[in-house]
Amino acid sequence: MLRVSGPLDFVAVREEFDVPQGFPADVLAEADRVAANPPLPDHDATDLPLVTLDPPGARDLDQAVHLARTDSGYRVSYAIADVGAFVPLGSALDAEARRRGQTVYCPDGRTPLHPPQLSEGAASLLPGQLRPAALWTIDLDADGEVTAVDLRRARVRSRAQLDYESVGEQLPVELELLPEIGRLLQARARDRGAIELGTPSQEVEPGPDGGWTVVFRGQSDVEGWNAQISLLTGRCAARLMLDGGVGILRTLPPPDPGAVAALRRLAPGLGVAWPDGATPGEVVATLDPARPRHAAFLDAATSLLRGAGYTAFDGEPPAQPGHGGVGGPYAHVTAPLRRLVDRFGTEVCLALAAGAQPSAELRAALPELTDLMAASDRRTHAVERAVVDLVEATLLADRVGEVFDAVVLDADDDRATVVLVDLAVQGRADGRFEAGEVARVRVEVADPATRTVRFGDAR
């Protein structure tokens, strides 16, 4: 595997995109005060054998889960870190979180949404610690359909911190129902017309010598099943909001019919079967991203998932409340330690579940979140792209003129997007190519200063 030896200047990337660094003194002082005396609700759910499941090394643990079988189906208990109990509206902590929007991850560390004494300490669902949580109890029937939802503040204690690598395919007893419930929820998602692309993401990975490389990382089955629990909770949150007439949804327009038609026309040339009556999501679910022509089809399918945003409402529900990727209304509520909007969504749902109305201060904040989160998303995506571009350009800086095999993801008259077969490097290539083919390309430009990589046709 080709690696960059030595350090790279990720600090300069963060500075370029104005990623906040240290926390102001008043914010840290406020975090110290609230962390020293955590608010604990009256309802005691410490008897639930909850566990967390996250990437290795994570300390900002938002969710803990317990799965059980019932006479009629399943019960999902999902505890979400109660960040609202630590961060009052109008506080210095609240103002700083609004400025940041979300945690920004870089290869050399994270820039957290909240001070570490909260995000990795008093508010995190660390194992063996008594913690306040927003506890969702969701009952499913034998087919995975929701039959009842309960939400309340509770004190919880996670039994264990698990990670995707150590869990692997041998699930511990606490998660033995995860495959069964996860597959049911995936099947129901396909029934709703959800589109889950599952394409590998480019990630920068450290090496033992302090160097860096770029890899494609796909989602394991366990990660996919665990994600379904979060999506289930987000759908229940959206339903609470819509029934209560107030909230903030994560929305995505349904696929444009023209984009679906164009994708269907592309399918035969890439060897993708599209049976009559099949939805795009059903077609995508049959594909293998490791196959070049399927990878090209999945890349083209991203055209179906454009226009995501946040939609706040108070009174009349939005004209388009759904999320095309999820296949129905959906809200972000399961990652409040890492994403600003989730704290507000959770507070709305807690009020509505208790038969009350959200406070006037909370309602007034919802419309502001749409712009705050849009700006935060833009900054986060720009940082992630710049980090990958920097490592890609540095990896190939000494390889200009060399020829590599590459998969063509998309192509027009004289340009294409390609990804190298032996390196997880993606870039533009000049020349005439066909989507889905494996072609020979030459490195024409690899400039770390401008974070630019460009290829040419070497056939």
Residue 87 has pLDDT above 70, yes or no: yes
Spatial CB neighbours of 170, under 8 Å, sequence gap ≥ 6: none
pLDDT for res 5: 61
User: What are the CA-CA distances from residue 354 to residues 1, 263, 283, 306, 388 (Å)?
Assistant: 55, 45, 41, 35, 45
pLDDT of residue 169: 63
The answer to whether residues 343 and 430 belong to one domain is no
Give the dihedral sign, CA 373/374/379/380: positive
pTM confidence score: 0.94
DSSP assignment string, 360-407: HHHHHHHHHHHHHHHHHHHHHHHHHHHHHHHHHHHHHTT-TT-EEEEE
Residue 138 lies in a domain: yes
Look at the chain and report how many structural domains it folds into: 3
* For residues 104-123, average pLDDT: 95
Does residue 451 fall inside a structural domain? yes
State the Cα torsion 349-355-361-364 to the nearest 10°.
70
198 and 287 belong to one structural domain:
no
**In terms of domains, do 167 and 86 share one?**
yes
DSSP code for 170: S
Together in a domain, 39 and 120: yes
Average pLDDT, the chain: 93
Domain containing 447 equals: 398-457
The reply to whether 146 falls in a domain is yes
Q: Same structural domain for residues 68 and 199?
A: yes
Same domain, 413 and 446: yes
Residue 198 lies in a domain: yes
Tell me which amino acid residue 145 is: E
Do 265 and 171 share a domain, yes or no? no
Residues 218, 285, single domain; the answer is no
Instruction: Give yes or no for residue 370 having a pLDDT over 80.
Output: yes
Count of C-beta atoms within a 10 Å radius of residue 282: 16
CA torsion angle 120 311 350 129 (round to 10) = -10
Residue 383, in any domain of the structure? no
Which one-letter amino acid corresponds to residue 11? V
Q: 201 and 302 share a domain?
A: no
Check residue 1 and give its pLDDT: 55
Reported as a single tens digit per residue, the pLDDT across 11-52 is: 999 999 999 989 999 999 999 999 999 999 999 999 999 999
Q: Is residue 435 part of a domain?
A: yes
101-105, 212-216, 247-251: least confidently modelled range = 212-216
In the prediction, which pLDDT does 161 show?
95
Mean pLDDT of all residues in 138-167: 96
**Whether 321 and 296 share a structural domain:** no
**pLDDT tens per residue across span 315-341:** 999 999 999 999 999 999 999 999 999
- Tens of pLDDT along 294-318? 888 888 899 999 999 999 999 999 9
Does 61 map to a domain?
yes
332 and 434 both lie in a single domain = no
Lowest mean pLDDT among 153-162, 212-221, 253-262: 212-221
Same domain, 143 and 289: no
Residue 232 lies in a domain: yes
Q: CB atoms < 10 A from the CB of 446, how many?
A: 23
Question: What mean pLDDT is predicted for residues 419-443?
Answer: 92
Q: What is the CATH number of the domain that holds 425?
A: 2.40.50.140
